Each structure stands twice: as structure tokens, then as C-alpha cells.
Amino acid sequence: MKHRYLPTTEQDKKEMLETIGVNSIEELFADIPESVRFKGDLQVEKQLYEPELIRYMSKLASKNVNTIENASFLGAGVYDHAIPSVVDHVIRRSEFYTAYTPYQPEISQGELQAIFEFQTMICELTGMDVANSSMYDGPTALAEAGLLSAGQTKKKKIIVSKSVHPEARAVIDTYSKGQHLHVVEVDSVNGVTDLEKLKEEMDDETACVMVQYPNFFGQLEPLPELEKIVHEYKSMFVVSSNPLALGRLTPPGELGADIVVGDCQPFGIPAQFGGPHCGYFAVTKKLMRKVPGRLVGETKDEEGQRGFVLTLQAREQHIRRDKATSNICSNQALNALASSVAMSALGKEGVRKMAEQNIKKAHYAKTQLEKAGVATVFDGVYFNEFVVKLNGSVKELNKKLLTKGIIGGYDLGRDYPEYENHMLVAVTENRTKEEIDTFVKEVGGAQ
Amino acid sequence: MNTNQDQSLIFELSEPGRISYSLPELDVPELDLNEWLPEEFNRQNEPELPEVSELQLIRHYTALSKRNHGVDSGFYPLGSCTMKYNPKINEDVARYPGFAFIHPLQEEDTVQGALEMMYNLQQNLVAVTGMDEVTLQPAAGAHGEWTGLMMIRAYHEANGDFNRTKVIVPDSAHGTNPASATVAGFEAVTVKSNEKGIVDLEDLKRVVDEDTAALMLTNPNTLGLFEEDIIEMAQIIHSAGGKLYYDGANMNAIMGAARPGDMGFDVVHLNLHKTFTGPHGGGGPGSGPVGVKADLVPYLPKPVLVKEEDAYRFDYDRPDSIGRVKPYYGNFGINVRAYTYIRTMGPEGLKQVSENAVLNANYMMRRLQDAFVLPYTQHCKHEFVISGKKQKKLGVRTLDMAKRLLDFGYHPPTIYFPINVEECMMIEPTETESKETLDEFCDRLLQIAKEAEENPEIVQEAPHTTVIKRLDETTAARKPILRYQKA
């Protein structure tokens, strides 16, 4: 068949078969035993020509309610933020998106330098010494932090606060099973980790304690108090953090964290139904050689010119095989690039301003809801999310909100039976006062 | 490529006061955060992020892109990575608002189009692999390997089989295979290849016993050779109670010709960024769906996407599931691209893809076999390995030849992998390259082989035309500089 992606003509084929010394392509497959040869047609959907394909895919896409045409108050780990136009223009440059991992530094300086800049930005935001080139996403980065902690401390117990994202906790469970680690979850009180319960669980077998900052309920965990408890037992202090929030909040690196992970989705990456996003992984200098994934370092070439290379590769699977620090191979380079461009476009001032707008708008929404008679449940400090208690089901309210062009918040009862009929509301800088006021009116009216 | 010159870091271009953002002014009442935030949370040391104008930003990243080689820049025969053309329509479709701007926790009835796409993709991958069910949750190939091994472990444990601690991998396997086995809690055991480059059945029988959880195999293997004893291998593993794992990195060789499910494989992962045009993105994101046979279905990661009479929904009630391997439902954006590609090709097209990929590889192998050492002489599949042993005797290493290829605008093949062939070069042309491109590349490589004899310095000192010369990797690792620090 002729196809626009397949350049080999009949004449080419004839000449090539001649050089190979066979009469047909079929002969090249003769080493596949007859009994396992596939006969007949693959039951794959039929080919569509480009115009048909565009129509069909557009139709599928249009069946989904999107956050461009609707005002989203849904967060819970994935947020609707402004994405500067420049981001997509940069990541659509095919020199970036059609390249592989920069194993040949002489012709990959662009990618390597972009990653080096990304690593620097993550260090700046988190207050940590070293950041890697990226991970699949925040939750798998957190799970890998558990494996690193267990390896480093030679201890088997991992304590996770229940105010960590429920899907992240589920991923931690799966990873831990593989390594025969024992995961213990600690309850929260008033929306943050219960320090007394944490103390009860701490012992000499504890490899690490994991908390989220801001946590799943939007609240700021008491990192200074947590740090004291964790380090008293010589455990590792692991903090999962929204990097945008760190544009305004004291970074975990300044509050004694050993490992800081999170997801860069708030910087320039669309929600795209949950992936691909972009995990980051940052550590203290002491842990530099234990980091999973790829690291880019600065060096010089034979003529003394500055250049960048993948470095400390002796940690990685393609060198160390079964002794590697992780099995991770690919990273999220293109999304790390998107985040770098977004962070550069926002810049020092813009990142701070955007983080501040998130707090201010969330604060406005929360205050207005309270005024409208809606019950809010936690009284601590928060970033861009907070919890409200409804009289009825979240699902029903969200159905009603959608008719007003609003995507409502997250139903906390899905993961926390004690919070049935509680909605986690996210308010980013993208929500206008008008949208917030409509949301308040509708939610307030339903109470 | 650029002339030799340093490209400033974006931090070095930065000047206080410059911006390239455009956030609307705050439209809700002001709040004094210095007052509102408790002292311990009120950040004092501001992060030093760049301060540049929009044009400065664009020039910076454009300059970086010019210092990078992608498939669109030129031939990229990187073995085992399937660097094929990345169709432009895939990029367009993935950016439709109904795919790019949907939240994973929206109510299911508001994302039926997304679920339908995922379901269809799963069914297509079932058809290509011959497995019974597919999950799209794993983020990449290595992540899929680990997911598959965790399912195999859960299967054995459900049978009361707690002593299966070993996973067998061939010496030619990808590094991720033994690494994934370790992370999944197994011990990796190596099985040797024979003189034909395929798994040595006698050695396999020697290492297989009642402790064997699984054999991980790439077929065709990393030498580009089809493991023709696959039926016997499956028998050996299955009769010992083990499972057979298929590393789908090399699926581009056999679509429509053979299916892992028909060869006796129990678990398969696919690299959608390879065979199904991902793209690679400079190292990711990828997508690594996993397919399983019926007896492993209960252990699939949850949630599982199900089709009901008039709607698609996620089933969370899966008591035997290994749990979640990733938040949400996998790398959806990459899966949209892969599905678009599959629909662009159709069943006939996919078959043609593999036929042409195999034709291209065999053609190049025969053109190069006399100038280099061909360790395995049988027909290859989608890739092949040649050795630079002859050139090494002349003082020219495979690394040198790879660097010399850079001078001609090519990305070199994979080198020094697989680890069981000395001075090797692993070449995978893919089906999207024309005969002219293959010929030009072969001509250059033959020229380099000649240079190795007549003028070895030009190869040893390569590259000559790139923006940077060979880099000091030793110092980079000994005294790591992993971030920019203001002088």
C-alpha cells in the first residue's frame, strides 16, 4: 500500500531485495516459526484519511467537557493555571520533541542546557541543593523517595500522612510492596498531620516520613514541628510540594527536608486527563549520588568551552542494571522544558505574583462562601484550596453547577468516609471575580 | 548546526525588572500576605528565577533548539529506540481542548469521549499483541516492565507460591529489565546467548527451576534477531511454573507478522513512544501500556476501564489488583497521539510498517557487512548489530566512528550495547526512511571505515563541525556542577 509515512517504492524494494539476496520480504520473516506466524488481518480499526481522522478525533474531543469553556474549581493535584503562549511554541520546535535522550552531547547541547536550567529552577524553588532532570509525575517521585529513604537508612518502615494525595498514597503502597517495605498511614486533625499520632508511630525502624505541603486539603503542614519529630529518630523527612506555592511559601529546603518532590504541572502543562505531567525530585547534597533518574552536569570540552553532559550515570539502569538506584529510564524532558519556559516567562516576579493571586483568590472565595452561609471546615492557613461542608451530595451539586458552566470541586467522600458531602474547592489565578461570585451564589443557594 | 560559541544560560541573560508574563491585575480585594501568612510560612529568600523579555526568551530557546538534533533534523538510526517520524497531525489532535484541557477527576459522564478513545486504543493494542486485556496506566517502558512483574508476583502469591524469587533475563537484555526485576523485589538471573545470538536453550534449562518467577524477553532481541526457539522456551518456563514476559521495545519488527500472545507470552509491555510514534520528547514523556493473558487479568492496576451498554466507566472494585502504579489513567496525551497514529495506518498499514522496517534494516546490514564485522549473519528484523573490531585494531574505536558521523549531520547508532558484542554499533533505520537516506548513511559509514585505515586521526579527533567538541565527562562526574550559581 502507498502511505505518506512510507517512502519505499516498488522499484526501491526490488533493488533492496536484490542487494539482500532474497526474492521477497516474506523470506526475511522465515525465522518466525510457522506455528506462531500471524495469518489473516489484525483486528485493528480501519485506516482513516487525514480529513476523516480530523473529523473523527474532533468529535471524540468535543464529547468531553473542557476547562477552557467552563470555569473549573476542581484541583486535587491537577490545576487550571495560565499557560503562556510561548510555552507551546517552544515545545513544538521539533528539534526538542523529536529528539531522544541526550546521550550524544555534541549534538544535544540544547536539550542538556535546558535540563540544566530546569534543575537550577527547581533548586531555587525548593531550597534544595540538587534536582534531577524530572520524573514521571509527583506521586511516582514520592514513591521513589520512599525507596531512596529505605535504601539510605536501611530501614523498612515508611510513614505517610493521610493528608497526602490519596492517589499518591496508593502508588506508594504499590511501590513499597515490591521492596517489602511496611507503610503506615497517620491520621490528620483539623486538616493537617496529627503530630501526636505521628510521634506514636515513630520508631528506630522508620525510614522516612512523608507529608505534603500544601497538603491534599490545601492546608499548610507545620513543617518545623514535623521536622523535629522526624529527625529525632534519624528518619528522612520527605516533603511533596506544589512548586508554584513555593513561589511565596517558605521552601521545605529551608525547613529541614531531606527530599522534596512534586509535580510541575502548575507550570505550563495542561491537565490532559491526568498525564503526562512532570515530577521533580530534589535532595540535599548528601544524597546526590542516590538520586533516581538522569542528571545533567556542567563541564568543558577539549578546547575549554563550557558544555553539558548527562552525569553520575553509574547510578542508572543502563550501566548498573540490577544494582541501579531505580529502574527509571525515560523522564519527562519535554514537559520539564514546558515548565522551564513557563517559569522563565513568569520569571521571578511573575511566579511570586501568580502564587500570591492563588492565595488571595482562594481567600476571597472562602470568605464569600462563609458569608453565604456555607460551612468551611479547617481554620488553618491554606494555599489555593480549602474544604467546604455541604448539606447534600457533591455529585448532585456538581451536576447543577455544570449547567452554569462551572466544573465543581472534588468529592472528598470518595477517599475519606469521614468527609462525606465535603467538597475540596480549588481557586487559581485563572478564576475571575465574576466566576467566583457565580460559584458562591450557586453553592450558597444550594445550602 | 551553529558555529562554535557558548550559549548563555537564561540566568545570565536575566536583568532585574524585565518580565515576559501577562497576568491580569488582581480583581478581588487585596490581602496583606505579610500579615496573613504566619512567619514560618512567609518566604523571605526569593527564588532566583530568570527575568527576561518575551523576545529574549524566544531567542534563547530557539538558540537551544538549534543546538539539538531531532528526527526532523536528520537521520537518527539509534538502535532499540525506534526513532521514526513523529506525525504532525498527532501533535495537533493531542492539543484539542477536549483532550488537552480535561481534568482527570471530572465526573465520568463529562469525559466519555476520552474514555472511548482509551477503550478503542486498548482494543487495538489487544489486537496487535494477541493479549486478552490491556492497561494504559504505566508511564513508560520501564514502568510497564515493573508493573508486569508486580502482576506476575501477585499471580504467584495468589497461588500460594511465595518462593519464586528469580527473574531470568538474557545477557543481551535492556538494562531496564534487570533493574525492574530488582525494584519489583526479584533477583535478576542472566541467561547466556549462543553463537547464533539467541538465548541458549541449554543454559536456560540450567537456570530455570522452581524459584523462577518469569523470563523477560525481547523478541526480536536487542541484536535484532528473532528468538526462533520461542516455543521451546515458553515450554521450559511454563512447565517450571514461571511466566513469560515480553519487552515490547522491538514491536516495530513484527506487527501483523507475529503476536506475543500467540508465542506464549503472558505479559507484554509496549513503548507507545517507539512503535506508535510517541514522540520521544528529548527523553520523555513516554507511555508503556501492559497487556496480559486472562489468568493475569485480576491483577491489573486499578481502576480498569469498562464498557457498559451506553457508557464507559472506571471499575475500582478489583480486590486482587496490584493497586495503582500511577495517579489517574496513564499518559493520556501520549495515548491520544498513539491512537491517532494507529488510525492513520489501519491494520494493513501497521503490517506494512514492520515489513518496511525489516527490509530497511536488512538492506543496510548487507551494505555494511564487508567493511565491518557482522557477528550474526542471519537475516535480521528491524535492527542489526555490527562490530568495529577491525577498526579497533587500527586504533579507531566505535566511539570515534560514532563521533565522526556527527560531522555528516547524523545521529550515531546506539554504541556499546548490547553488552555481549565487542565494539558494537546497533543500527535501527525504521520504515519512515527512504532508500536514498539509507544509501547516503551507508556511504558515509563506509567512508569512515576507509578513513580508519588511511587517515585514522580524522576519525579519532572527531567531531569537527559540531558546536562543541568532546566533553570532559570524568570531571563532570568527579566534581559535579548540577545547577547554575551566580558568580
Contact B467 A7 (CB under 8 A): no
A320: nearest CA in chain B?
B175
Residue A301 forms beta bridges with which residues?
Answer: B471
Could you tell me if B378 lies within 8 Å of chain A, comparing CB atoms?
yes
Contact B47 A273 (CB under 8 A): no
- Give the Cα separation of A315 and A289 in Å (integer): 7
| Helix, strand or coil, per DSSP, at residue B178 | helix
Q: Share the mean pLDDT of chain B.
A: 96
Question: pLDDT (tens digit, 9 = 90+) per residue, A27-51?
Answer: 999 999 999 999 999 999 999 999 9
Question: pLDDT (tens digit, 9 = 90+) per residue, B228-252?
Answer: 999 999 999 999 999 999 999 999 9
Q: Which of A271, A296, A335 lies nearest to residue B102, judging by beta carbons?
A: A271
Query: Environment class of residue B84 by beta-carbon count within 10 Å: exposed (0-12), middle (13-18) or buried (19+)?
Result: buried
CB A323 within 8 A of CB B28: no
Residues of chain B contacting residue A120, judged by C-beta atoms under 8 Å apart:
9, 11, 483-484
The set of cell numbers assigned to B72 is 526532523
| Helix, strand or coil, per DSSP, at residue B57 | helix
Residues of chain A contacting residue B36, judged by C-beta atoms under 8 Å apart:
359, 363, 381
- Give the Cα separation of A54 and A48 in Å (integer): 9
pLDDT of residue A318: 79
Q: Which of B97, B102, B468 lies nearest to residue A109, judging by beta carbons?
A: B468
With cut-offs at 50, 70 and 90, classify the pLDDT of residue A85.
Answer: very high
The nearest CA of chain A is from the CA of B101 a distance in Å of: 5
| Helix, strand or coil, per DSSP, at residue A434 | helix
For chain A, percent of residues with pLDDT exceeding 70: 100
- Give the Cα separation of A335 and A91 in Å (integer): 8
Q: In what order do the strands lie in the sheet with B424-427?
A: B384-387, B424-427, B414-415
- Give the Cα separation of B334 and B256 in Å (integer): 23
- Give the Cα separation of B293 and B260 in Å (integer): 10
As a whole number, mean pLDDT of residues B23-39 equals 98
Q: How far from each other are the two terminal CA atoms of chain A, in whole angstroms?
A: 63
Contact A28 B6 (CB under 8 A): no
* Domain pair A71-83+347-445 / A85-341, same fold: no
A65: nearest CA in chain B?
B110
Cell 511565596 sits at which residue?
A248
Name which CATH class applies to A85-341.
Answer: alpha beta
Closest CA to B427 of B411, B410, B413: B413
CA distances from B311 to A14, B119, B280, B307 (A): 50, 11, 33, 6
CB A248 within 8 A of CB A225: no
Interface of B with A in 76-135 (CB under 8 A): 76, 78, 81, 83-87, 89, 91-107, 110-114, 116-117, 120, 123-124, 127-128, 130
B128: nearest CA in chain A?
A42
A71-83+347-445 has CATH 3.90.1150.10 classification: yes
**Vertex A119 angle, CA A113 and A124, to 5°:** 125
A219: nearest CA in chain B?
B41
B60-64, B87-91, B483-487 — which is least confidently predicted?
B483-487
Closest CA to B80 of B425, B437, B448: B425
Could you tell me if B332 lies within 8 Å of chain A, comparing CB atoms?
yes
Residues of chain A contacting residue B184, judged by C-beta atoms under 8 Å apart:
178
Angle between helical axes of A109-126 and A333-371 (0-180°, round to 10): 30
- For residue A55, what are the contacts with CB-CB under 8 A and spacing of at least 6? none
Closest CA to B260 of B281, B245, B275, B276: B245
Contact B347 A43 (CB under 8 A): yes
pLDDT of A12 strictly over 70: yes
* Amino acid at position B156, single letter: H
Fold topology of B89-344: Aspartate Aminotransferase; domain 2 (3.40.640)
Contact A5 B358 (CB under 8 A): no
Contact B483 A127 (CB under 8 A): no
b/e burial code for range A217-229 (CB count within 10 A of at least 16 → b): bbbbbbbeebbeb
**Which part of chain B has CATH 3.40.640.10?**
89-344
Q: Which of A5, A133, A350 lies nearest to residue B19, judging by beta carbons?
A: A350
The nearest CA of chain A is from the CA of B430 a distance in Å of: 10
* Amino acid at position A184, single letter: V
Question: pLDDT (tens digit, 9 = 90+) per residue, B103-113?
Answer: 999 999 999 99
Residues of chain B contacting residue A30, judged by C-beta atoms under 8 Å apart:
379
Could you tell me if B13 lies within 8 Å of chain A, comparing CB atoms?
no
Residues of chain A contacting residue B469, judged by C-beta atoms under 8 Å apart:
106, 301-303, 305
pLDDT of residue A317: 80
A103: nearest CA in chain B?
B414
pLDDT of A320 strictly over 90: no
Contact A106 B257 (CB under 8 A): no
Residues of chain A contacting residue B33, judged by C-beta atoms under 8 Å apart:
248, 356, 359-360
pLDDT of residue A315: 81
Contact A249 B50 (CB under 8 A): no
With cut-offs at 50, 70 and 90, classify the pLDDT of residue A322.
Answer: confident
Contact A177 B322 (CB under 8 A): yes
CB A103 within 8 A of CB A112: no
Q: How many CB atoms lie within 10 A of CB A232?
A: 10
Between A and B, how many CB-CB pairs are < 8 A? 690
User: Where are any strands of DSSP class E within B220-295?
Assistant: 243-248, 267-270, 290-292
The nearest CA of chain A is from the CA of B390 a distance in Å of: 23
CB B358 within 8 A of CB B382: yes
The nearest CA of chain A is from the CA of B150 a distance in Å of: 7
- Answer positive or negative: Cα dihedral of A145, A149, A151, A156: negative
Contact A78 B105 (CB under 8 A): yes
CB B136 within 8 A of CB B335: yes
Interface of B with A in 212-241 (CB under 8 A): 225-226, 228, 230-231
B35, B183, B415, B457, best to mutate vs chain A, most A CBs in 10 Å: B183
Q: How far from each other are the two terminal CA atoms of chain B, in whole angstroms?
A: 29
Q: How many CB atoms lie within 10 A of CB B174?
A: 27
pLDDT of A337 strictly over 60: yes
- Give the Cα separation of A341 and A351 in Å (integer): 12
With cut-offs at 50, 70 and 90, classify the pLDDT of residue A170.
Answer: very high
Helices (H), B371-466: 389-393, 398-406, 435-454, 456-460
pLDDT of residue B2: 42
Q: How many CB atoms lie within 10 A of CB B401?
A: 26
Q: Which of B181, B280, B468 lies nearest to residue A98, judging by beta carbons?
A: B280
Question: pLDDT (tens digit, 9 = 90+) per residue, A90-133?
Answer: 999 999 999 999 999 999 999 999 999 999 999 999 999 999 99
pLDDT of residue B5: 67
pLDDT of A241 strictly over 80: yes
The secondary structure of B423-437 as a DSSP string is TEEEE---TTS-HHH
Residues of chain B contacting residue A278, judged by C-beta atoms under 8 Å apart:
285
- Give the Cα separation of A141 and A120 in Å (integer): 18
